[in-house]
Amino acid sequence: MTNQTDKPFQNPRGWHLAHRFLRFLLFRLTRLDVKGLEHLPDKGPAIITPNHVNWLDVFLIPAFSKVAPVTFAGEKWARAPLVNRMFRHFGQAIFVNRGAPDRKALMAAMEVLKQGRVLGLAPEGTRSHDGILRKGHDGAAWLASRTGALIVPVAMWGHEDIIRSQWLRFQRPIVHFHVGKPYRLPPEARQTRSRDLDPYTEMIMRRIAEMLPPERRGYYA
């Protein structure tokens, strides 16, 4: 399935200013090791699939994205007024119940991809905190198999405990942000039943793992 519209996507109001501001802050608060930015999509349907380390990921992805990606956010943030407004405006957030499969959120994400937009989805489903890759969930594989979306792997590390172990000691940590070559699932994935998506989730996760240092590949070492 491909994009059904040629209408250009409009970024949220103020996104370009926020985008530049985030880069400004990140380059001054960290020593960034950035690779592969040319692989980030400027249109969809595409799914950016990063590993999920901690809260800083929320800023790293939009700081380097070419367009504002639609993002997933935990349902708990929908009840935090200021964070809610920021997620809804800049992240165009799809709020998801992380305690169980959320079909409503998946259908909203599918609609985003059908519109030819870019989606950010961490297949681990939640933060690892220690930067060690966890077992992936099938959401990204399900969406990619049903829409034919381009998949763009992203690997991040170096910011696992950035406040206590580095910033409070007035250190600028090295934070790695590597983008891999985009790819698509094979055509036969479209016929795969939801319960049989494990091989494609494995493919997605291993594309992320191969960009991480060996000691951080965790379940996919």
Residue 221 predicted with pLDDT over 80: yes
Range of the domain at 95: 39-213
pLDDT at 84 exceeding the cut of 60? no
Compute the average pLDDT of residues 141-149. Answer: 96
pLDDT recorded at residue 96: 78
Is the pLDDT at 209 greater than 80? The verdict is yes
> Beta strands 174-179 and 150-157: pairing type?
antiparallel
182-218 as b/e: b if 16+ CB within 10 A: beebeeebeebeeeebeebbbbbbebbbebbeeebbb
* Confidence class for position 5, pLDDT limits 50, 70, 90: very low
Q: What is the mean pLDDT of residues 136-161?
A: 95
Q: From the centroid of its chain, how far is CA 116? A: 17
- Is the residue at 134 inside a domain? yes
Question: How many residues in total does the chain contain?
Answer: 221
Say if 120 falls within a structural domain.
yes
Ordered DSSP codes for 160-197: TTHHHHTGGGT---EEEEEE---B---GGGGG--GGG-
Q: Assess if residue 154 is contained within a domain.
A: yes
Q: Is residue 12 part of a domain?
A: no
In a domain, 22, yes or no: no
The reported pLDDT for the residue numbered 127 is 85
Query: Model confidence at 165, in pLDDT bands (50, 70, 90)?
Result: confident
Q: What is the mean predicted confidence (pLDDT) over 130-143?
A: 94
Structural domains in the chain (count): 1
3 pLDDT higher than 50: no
Burial (CB count within 10 angstroms: exposed 0-12, middle 13-18, buried 19+), residue 155: buried
Q: Measuring CA to CA, how many Å separate 30 from each of 25, 33, 61?
A: 8, 9, 15
Residue ranges of the alpha helices (H) in the chain? 15-29, 57-64, 81-89, 103-114, 139-147, 162-165, 198-209
Rounded to an integer, the average pLDDT of 180-200 is 94
Grouping H, G, I as helix, E, B as strand and the rest as coil, residue 98 is coil
Residue 127 belongs to a domain:
yes
- Assess if residue 183 is contained within a domain: yes
User: What integer pLDDT is reported at residue 98 of this predicted model?
Assistant: 64
Specify the higher pLDDT residue, 96 or 79: 96
Q: What is the pLDDT of residue 6?
A: 45
Q: Report which of residues 101 and 64 the model is more confident about.
A: 64
Region 209-214: mean pLDDT is 97
Q: Is the pLDDT of residue 102 over 80?
A: no
Share of the chain above pLDDT 70, in %: 86
More reliable by pLDDT, 92 or 156: 156
Q: Would 157 be classed as within a structural domain?
A: yes
